[in-house]
């Protein structure tokens, strides 16, 4: 067990909760991309079987392993052909945005459920200590992780959704210039992920803000119960 803990960033007793969180977060995120792309007239994702909530088709094994070991990872990207959209720039923006927005929705749902369980006294009245502990670990982790993914995916660097949104909302002439430096931007993104000083001014503040968002929602729900 000690050998594993050297390579895994989370305590082993929390790892199952984290894997379930990522399973749901990544699956819903990629499904949202695929669903709206298909609705807007691009059948690419549907033909590849991606318009589904089956996590198997969305997961990238290497991406998940790196997420557990190194703290960053990815799901299998949903292919989107904007040429099939009636309004490529508008619909492309929406398709890119719904992924992060799905994580925001999951985060809010998780925080509301925890706030309701805590504020109503249900959480404290659960006799099974293991169940109560599991809920107290899973729901905050689920909510904070999804708040983080919402903000992280909006960073305007490839291959994140924020970059695709930026491409679609900027004038075409500027978008073409961005495409010319896209490969270098990916290196910048990777540096942010792996260099601790850069993480300290990018990733860590996002995580702290995600935690604050979670606490704000939970606090609001608890206040409603106390009134």
The catalytic residue positions are 30
- Tokens in use for 179? 């495409």
Query: H/E element holding 14?
Result: none
Residues composing the chain: 227
Query: H/E element holding 72?
Result: none
Cα–Cα dist 65/70, whole Å: 8
Helix/strand/coil for 59: strand
Helix/strand/coil for 132: helix
Cα–Cα dist 101/93, whole Å: 12
Q: Which are the contacts of 165, defined by CB distance < 8 A and separation ≥ 6?
A: 93, 96, 97, 154, 156
Cα–Cα dist 211/145, whole Å: 9
32: number of Cβ within 10 Å: 20
Cα–Cα dist 172/89, whole Å: 10
Bridge partners of 75, per DSSP, are 59
63 dihedral zone (left: phi>0; alpha: psi -120 to 50; beta): alpha
């Amino acid at each position: 067990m000690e050998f594993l803990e050297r390579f895994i960033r989370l305590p082993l007793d929390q790892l199952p909760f984290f894997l379930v969180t990522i399973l749901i977060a990544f699956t819903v995120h990629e499904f949202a991309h695929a669903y709206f792309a298909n609705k807007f007239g691009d059948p690419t994702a549907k033909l590849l079987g991606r318009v589904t909530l089956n996590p198997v088709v969305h997961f990238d094994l290497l991406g998940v392993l790196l997420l557990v070991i190194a703290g960053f990872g990815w799901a299998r990207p949903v292919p989107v052909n904007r040429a099939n959209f009636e309004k490529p720039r508008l619909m492309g923006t929406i398709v890119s945005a719904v992924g992060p927005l799905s994580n925001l929705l999951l985060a809010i749902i998780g925080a509301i459920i925890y706030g309701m369980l805590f504020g109503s006294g249900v959480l404290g009245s659960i006799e099974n200590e293991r169940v109560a502990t599991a809920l107290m670990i899973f729901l905050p982790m689920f909510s904070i992780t999804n708040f983080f993914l919402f903000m992280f995916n909006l960073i305007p660097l490839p291959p994140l959704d924020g970059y695709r949104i930026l491409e679609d909302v900027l004038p075409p002439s500027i978008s073409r210039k961005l495409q010319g430096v896209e490969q270098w931007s990916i290196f910048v993104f990777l540096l942010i992920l792996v260099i601790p000083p850069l993480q300290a001014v990018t990733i860590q503040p996002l995580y702290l803000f995600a935690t604050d968002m979670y606490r704000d929602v939970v606090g609001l729900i608890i206040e409603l119960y106390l009134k």
